[in-house]
Amino acid sequence: MKHLLVMIGLMGLGAEGRAQIRLITLDPGHFHAALVQKSGYPDIDPTVHVYAPEGQELKAHLALIDKYNTRSEDPTHWNEVVYTGEDFLSRMFQERAGNVVVLAGNNRRKIDYIEQAIDSGFNVFSDKPMIIEARDLPRLQRTFETAGRNGTVLYDIMTERYQITTILQRRLSMIHSVFGVLEKGTVENPAVTKESVHHFFKSVSGKPLIRPSWYFDVTQEGEGIVDVTTHLVDLIQWECFPELALDYHKDIKMLAARRWPTELSVAQFRKVTGVGRDSPLSVYANGVMDYAIKGVHARVSVRWNFEAPPGGGDTHFSILRGTLANLVIRQDSAHGYKPVLSVEPLRMTAVYERALTRVIAGLQSEYPGLALQKTAAGFQLVVPARFDLDHEATFAEVTKKYLGFVKTGKLPPWEVPDMLAKYYTTTKALEMARASQR
> Could you report the per-residue pLDDT of 5-61, keeping only the tens digit for each?
444 444 444 444 444 888 888 888 778 889 989 999 999 999 999 989 999 899 999
What does residue 371 show for φ and ψ, rounded to 5 degrees? -145, 170
Four-CA torsion 33, 313, 398, 64, nearest 10 degrees: 30
The string of pLDDT tens digits covering residues 364-406 is: 999 999 999 999 999 999 999 999 999 899 999 999 998 888 8
Q: Any idea which of 99-103, 343-347, 385-389 has the lowest mean pLDDT?
A: 99-103
Q: What is the mean pLDDT of residues 318-342?
A: 95
Among candidate residues 173, 191, 97, the one with its CA nearest the CA of residue 343: 173
In sequence order, the β-bridge partners of residue 99 are none
Beta pairing, strands 5-8 & 100-103: antiparallel
* CATH class of segment(s) 161-387: alpha beta
pTM of the entire predicted model: 0.93
Where do the H-state alpha helices sit in 174-328? 176-179, 218-221, 229-240, 248-251, 266-273
CATH 3.40.50.720 fits 5-157, yes or no: yes
Q: What is the mean pLDDT of residues 108-137?
A: 90
The string of pLDDT tens digits covering residues 141-162 is: 999 999 999 988 899 999 999 9
Among candidate residues 20, 17, 30, the one with its CA nearest the CA of residue 61: 30
Which sequence spans correspond to the domains of the chain?
5-157, 161-387
> Sorting pLDDT into bands at 50, 70 and 90, what band is 122?
confident
